[in-house]
């Protein structure tokens, strides 16, 4: 069984990203159409950092997919201290269908994925916030008439260019074919290897990436204006020193006036009015912040469905003589369906029966967990 993870924005291809976003649009129209976690199967939702939207969206989403969201306090469990990450992964992987982790170092998440044997989802690390960017892309797509409106759109981000949101905008935006501009002070640049990866991705999708210290130039003609807090979690002691460099990058009505007439404003939250943006912007007509927050739910549900479908399609390969249907799987979707393109995995049935294939709980699935690092065929950076 091949297990796919979502450890950063480029854990998936451009085509796969589009499939997930299209599925999210369908799920938003019909929230209870898919029930791949009926049982209920458990999904571990583990957090080492403060959380509101991550906890709410994943817990509600797993429940709406028919599953049981099992909240795990990472600090209480002592993951990486009281118990090794590898051992924690082995325990969780044998009892859950997937693991969602909001943590610090990206290396922690990658170690979890190496030993879990079930899909591992990055709910935020110091380097990346890919689930948030999926939700943001969904929000932009809704504002631009669908996912076909993503390629060629200009997204300008203002703030800390080295934080997880900026770096995920570079990767996820480039993957979607966006023209991404990161406006940030010279001393707050993205990590060079992440910028280089984004440039390489953009070269294959028709998008572009740019980093500048000129906020007005970045805003000019933008279709999407994005920002984030100037003080990321774990940097609270440096809050005072981090204020002045970012003041010229505050999103206010003057900056918004430079954007396209129909530009939208997004912010991953929590927001601090009067700092990274003014109240008139976040509470104004261009703001899509509350749609964006809700879209965490729909984008993450689509992601979970898609990841589970990958595992099922690799574990249950239909024969050439009877290709139409596998146990617990829908027939291969037609072109234009939510997960319907060459090589795409099938989506689990909306209402699986008790006999449905459950690769997270079968002997085959268990055999892949609990011994050594998994080989899932994907580069994790």
So which residues are the catalytic ones?
102, 129, 132, 228, 268, 296
Using CA atoms, how far apart are residues 100 and 86, in angstroms rounded to an integer?
Answer: 15
The rounded distance, in Å, linking the Cα atoms of 129 and 362 is 31
* Residue 267 DSSP SS3: strand
Closest by alpha carbon to 63, among 224, 300, 266, 247? Answer: 300
Q: State the Cα–Cα distance between residues 313 and 310, nearest whole angstrom.
A: 5
Closest Cα partner for 265 from 297, 223, 231? 223
Residues in CB range of 196: below 8 A, 6 or more apart: none
Residues 6 or more apart from 208 whose CB is under 8 A from it? 174, 179, 180, 202
Cα–Cα distance, 162 to 170 (Å, whole number): 11
Burial 238-266 (b: 16+ CB within 10 A, else e): eeeebeebbeebbbeeebbebbeeebbbb
In this structure, what DSSP letter does residue 219 have?
H
Residue whose C-alpha is closest to residue 119's, from 303, 347, 323? 303
Residue 222 sits at φ, ψ, to 5 deg, of: -70, 140
Alpha-carbon distances of 71 from 5, 99, 100, 184, 254, rounded to whole Å: 19, 10, 10, 36, 43
Contacts 24+ apart (CB under 8 A), 213-216: 213/183, 213/184, 213/185, 213/186, 214/183, 215/158, 215/183, 215/248, 215/249, 215/255, 216/255, 216/258
């Amino acid at each position: 069984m091949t297990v796919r993870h979502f450890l950063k924005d480029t854990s998936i291809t451009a085509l796969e990203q589009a499939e997930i976003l299209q599925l999210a649009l369908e799920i938003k129209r019909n929230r209870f159409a898919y029930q791949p976690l009926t049982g209920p199967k458990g999904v571990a939702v583990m957090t080492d950092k403060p959380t509101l939207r991550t906890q709410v969206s994943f817990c509600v989403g797993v429940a709406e997919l028919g599953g049981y969201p099992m909240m795990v306090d990472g600090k209480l469990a002592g993951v990486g201290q009281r118990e090794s990450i590898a051992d924690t992964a082995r325990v969780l992987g044998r009892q859950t269908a997937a693991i969602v982790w909001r943590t610090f170092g990206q290396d922690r998440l990658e170690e979890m994925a190496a030993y879990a044997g079930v899909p591992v989802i990055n709910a935020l690390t110091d380097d990346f916030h890919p689930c948030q960017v999926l939700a943001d892309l969904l929000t932009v797509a809704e504002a631009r008439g669908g996912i076909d409106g993503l390629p060629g759109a200009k997204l300008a981000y203002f703030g800390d260019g080295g934080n997880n949101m900026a770096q995920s905008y570079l990767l996820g935006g480039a993957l979607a074919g966006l023209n991404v501009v990161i406006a940030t002070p010279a001393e707050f640049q993205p990590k060079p290897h992440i910028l280089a990866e984004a440039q390489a991705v953009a070269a294959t999708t028709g998008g572009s990436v740019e980093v500048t210290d000129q906020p007005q130039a970045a805003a000019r003609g933008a279709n999407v204006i994005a920002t984030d807090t100037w003080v990321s979690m774990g940097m609270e002691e440096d809050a005072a020193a981090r204020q002045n460099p970012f003041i010229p990058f505050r999103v206010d009505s003057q900056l918004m006036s430079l954007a396209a007439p129909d530009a939208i404003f997004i912010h991953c939250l929590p927001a601090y009015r009067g700092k990274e943006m003014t109240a008139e912007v976040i509470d104004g007509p261009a703001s899509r912040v509350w749609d964006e927050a809700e879209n965490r739910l729909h984008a993450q549900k689509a992601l979970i469905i898609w990841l589970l479908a990958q595992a099922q399609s690799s574990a249950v390969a239909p024969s050439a003589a009877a290709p139409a249907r596998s146990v617990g799987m829908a027939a291969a979707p037609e072109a234009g369906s939510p997960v319907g393109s060459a090589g795409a995995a099938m989506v689990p049935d909306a209402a699986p029966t008790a006999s449905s294939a459950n690769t997270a709980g079968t002997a085959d699935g268990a055999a892949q967990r609990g011994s050594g690092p998994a080989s899932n065929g994907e580069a994790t950076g």
